[in-house]
Amino acid sequence: MVRRSRTKTPIAEQDPAIRKSNFDEVCLGYTLEEGAAEAVRCLQCKEAPCIASCPVMIDIPGFILAIKKGNMQEAADILGKYTNLPAICGRVCPQEKQCEQVCKLGLAKNFEPVAIGKLERLVADWALENQDFSKCIQNNEAKIGRIAVIGSGPSGLTVAGDLAKMNYEVIIYEALHDSGGVLTYGIPEFRLPKRIVKKEIESIEALGVTIETNVVVGKTITMDEVMNEFDACYISVGAGAPNFMGIPGTALNGVYSSSEYLTRINLMHSYEFPKFDTPIKRSKNVVVIGGGNVAMDAARSAKRLGADHVSIVYRRSLEELPARIEEYHHSVEEDIDYHWLSNPVEYMNNGVGDLNGVKCVKMELGEPDESGRRRPVPIKNSEFIIEADTVIEAIGQGSNKVLLSTFPELKLTKWGYIEADPKTGTTSIPGVFAGGDIVTGAATVILAMGAGKIAAVEIDNYVREKNKTPVTTKV
């Protein structure tokens, strides 16, 4: 029997000194040999806890066993049963808080969990290279019904893929000129190459899904039209609207929301300006406000754009940082500085409308708030100024209102998200389903996908039921 290594099989990464000036992917992925070596570490648990903690319940020991046997096609087939976007999940899922957190091997003293995410990525990348998606079998049976999906993020793509597999005609409407939602306009190339996103979207189109870009539902076509022309619809428009702190100086030139900063970079390729036409500020001193994945992405992008000095201002401490710990470590390696327990109170004007500094105040942690985290409170007279020509607020997003503002019949929560049953995706209107960030608020790719999977089953039930009991025909 092979001795199990206590630690994860090391994975190659681009050298921090080099990668901080390019947008190429940081993590280079396992080779087949490294993958096989890592797969050997899995205990093949009965009632594997890793499965239960995965929002889409992937048969993790199953696909790992296939890797161990050297049968990549089998591994890919197993993954494909549960997820249409494995190369994406393998890169951006918070594995450390899901499958890997409960891995039995990792719970043993002095052992690290199996690198489930990296193995998933290995299989998915293998499949993207070696499988011909154009050969996907589409059967010729009459379609069961027509479904409209609004928004082409991970939630919409998942529901569309699953419904296409069940033999529905599916059309995805996307407001932007490119599909993928946050995967395309939010998460930067160095964490999630757009080439990968494109390929996985192509694999979904190969199932027979049509994606129409440049269609803003509510504007280009109305919800009435959607409800008349389709048997059911799924709303997955995300939570992309940026929040602002609203402190003095927010209107100064140089003050960005993370959404704008990242959209310019990712969707519009402004890091390749002037080859691409959309500009972005090339700054010397950048300050990012916030502590989530979005803040990390903005800060690391700013560094790659050539900023001399990038710092993150976070109002709590490292312990409470919501970002993935892997990304935090990457950011530190890339010389991103941190001002812990600090909060901005004002953006300073250089006199002609441009930002030249961020005035912050020191914070201390008080009593826990409703979220269970200790509430940060400002310390009197502790103001300090950080020199900055760009500041990026990454303090969270709200629901996208473009569609909702035209559809007042739909019931919303008090926070402005769609009220939908988490077990079915049903909303207050029959035939209208919803899921992803627009229901939960900003969450994760895998949760958005999970919502899509659940809704696909429910939509199928709904349409079959409706077809069985025809309503009085419209005249």
Partner 1 sequence: MYKITKSEQLSKNEYDFWIEAPRIAKKAKPGQFVMLRINEMGERIPLTIADTDDSSGKIRLVFQVIGKTTAELGKLTIGDTILDLTGPLGMPTEIKNYGTVMIVGGGVGIAAVFPIIKGLKKAGNRVITILGAKTAELVILQEECRQYSDELIITTDDGTKGMKGLVTDAMEQVIANETINSSWAIGPSMMMKFCTMTAAKYELPLYVSLNPIMIDGTGMCGGCRVTIDGSIKFACVDGPEFKGTEVNWDEFISRMKQYKTEEETCLVDYQKVQVINRG
Ligand X SMILES: Cc1cc2nc3c(=O)[nH]c(=O)nc-3n(C[C@H](O)[C@H](O)[C@H](O)COP(=O)(O)OP(=O)(O)OC[C@H]3O[C@@H](n4cnc5c(N)ncnc54)[C@H](O)[C@@H]3O)c2cc1C
Q: How far apart are CA 296 and CA 314, in angstroms?
A: 11
Look at residue 93 and give the partner it binds from ligand SF4, ligand X, partner 1, none, a contact being a CB closer than 5 to 8 Å depending on partner kind.
ligand X
Q: Is 297 in the site for ligand X (CB under 6 A)?
A: yes
Q: How far apart are CA 146 and CA 143, in angstroms?
A: 8
Is the CB of 103 or the CB of 388 nearer to ligand SF4?
A: 103
Count of residues engaged in binding ligand SF4, rule: CB under 6 A: 14
Q: How far apart are CA 94 and CA 116, in angstroms?
A: 11
H or E element: which one contains 147?
strand 146-150
* Contacting range for ligand X; rule: CB under 6 A; set: 45-53, 144-152, 329-337, 369-377: 144-152
What residue has token string 């029997």? 1
Look at residue 293 and give the partner it binds from ligand X, partner 1, ligand SF4, none, a contact being a CB closer than 5 to 8 Å depending on partner kind.
ligand X
Q: Can you say how many angstroms the Cα of residue 297 is from the centroid of all Cα atoms in its chain?
A: 12
Q: How far apart are CA 68 and CA 104, in angstroms?
A: 18
Sign of the Cα pseudo-torsion (81, 83, 89, 95, in order): negative
Q: Yes or no: say if 117 and 100 are a contact pair by the CB < 8 Å rule.
A: yes
Q: How far apart are CA 243 and CA 308, in angstroms?
A: 27
Among 36, 40, 43, 144, binds ligand SF4 (CB under 6 A): 43
Q: How far apart are CA 247 and CA 229, in angstroms?
A: 46
Q: Greatest CA separation found in the chain? A: 73
Look at residue 43 and give the partner it binds from ligand SF4, ligand X, partner 1, none, a contact being a CB closer than 5 to 8 Å depending on partner kind.
ligand SF4
Among 35, 61, 238, 450, binds ligand SF4 (CB under 6 A): 61
CA distances from 37 to 50, 103, 119, 148, 411 (A): 19, 17, 10, 44, 51
Is the CB of 76 or the CB of 149 nearer to partner 1?
A: 149
Is the CB of 123 or the CB of 403 nearer to ligand X?
A: 403
Q: Is 177 in the site for partner 1 (CB under 8 A)?
A: yes
Among 26, 27, 39, 50, binds ligand SF4 (CB under 6 A): 50
Q: Is 152 in the site for ligand X (CB under 6 A)?
A: yes
Closest distance to partner 1 from the beta carbon of 339 (Å): 23
Closest distance to ligand SF4 from the beta carbon of 73 (Å): 21
Look up residue 66 and give its two tokens: 């296939």
Is the CB of 161 or the CB of 218 nearer to ligand X?
A: 218
Positions in 1-40 near ligand X (CB under 6 A): none
Is the CB of 286 or the CB of 456 nearer to partner 1?
A: 286
Q: Is 155 in the site for partner 1 (CB under 8 A)?
A: no
Helices (H), 305-416: 325-333, 401-404
Is the CB of 53 or the CB of 167 nearer to ligand X?
A: 53
CA distances from 234 to 149, 166, 407, 465 (A): 5, 16, 14, 17
* Contacting range for ligand SF4; rule: CB under 6 A; set: 5-13, 41-49, 246-254, 461-469: 41-49
Q: Yes or no: say if 45 and 104 are a contact pair by the CB < 8 Å rule.
A: yes
Is the CB of 131 or the CB of 253 nearer to partner 1?
A: 253
Among 27, 42, 66, 92, binds ligand X (CB under 6 A): 92
Is the CB of 103 or the CB of 358 nearer to ligand SF4?
A: 103
Q: How far apart are CA 435 and CA 238, in angstroms?
A: 9
Positions in 194-233 near partner 1 (CB under 8 A): 213-216, 219-222
Q: Is 275 in the site for partner 1 (CB under 8 A)?
A: yes
Positions in 11-30 near partner 1 (CB under 8 A): none
DSSP secondary structure of 8-36: PPP--B--HHHHTT--S-SB----HHHHH
Among 27, 67, 72, 116, binds ligand SF4 (CB under 6 A): 116
Is the CB of 124 or the CB of 288 nearer to partner 1?
A: 288
Is the CB of 69 or the CB of 401 nearer to partner 1?
A: 401
Is the CB of 95 or the CB of 263 nearer to ligand SF4?
A: 95
* Contacting range for ligand SF4; rule: CB under 6 A; set: 42-50, 71-79, 168-176, 253-261: 42-50
Q: What's the full length of the chain, in residues?
A: 475
Among 86, 156, 344, 425, binds ligand X (CB under 6 A): 156
Closest distance to ligand X from the beta carbon of 89 (Å): 8
Identity of the residue numbered 63: F
Q: Yes or no: say if 358 and 313 are a contact pair by the CB < 8 Å rule.
A: yes
Closest by CA position to 39, among listed 101, 110, 115, 92:
115
Q: How far apart are CA 286 and CA 196, in angstroms?
A: 29
- Give the SS3 label for residue 168: coil
Q: Yes or no: say if 440 and 155 are a contact pair by the CB < 8 Å rule.
A: no
Closest by CA position to 121, among listed 87, 154, 74:
87
* Contacting range for ligand SF4; rule: CB under 6 A; set: 4-12, 46-54, 207-215, 227-235: 46-54
Chain contacts with partner 1 (rule: CB under 8 A): 175-177, 185, 213-216, 219-222, 240-242, 244, 246, 250-251, 253, 256-257, 259-260, 263-264, 267-269, 273-281, 352-353, 400-402, 405
Chain contacts with ligand SF4 (rule: CB under 6 A): 42-45, 48-50, 60-61, 103-105, 114, 116
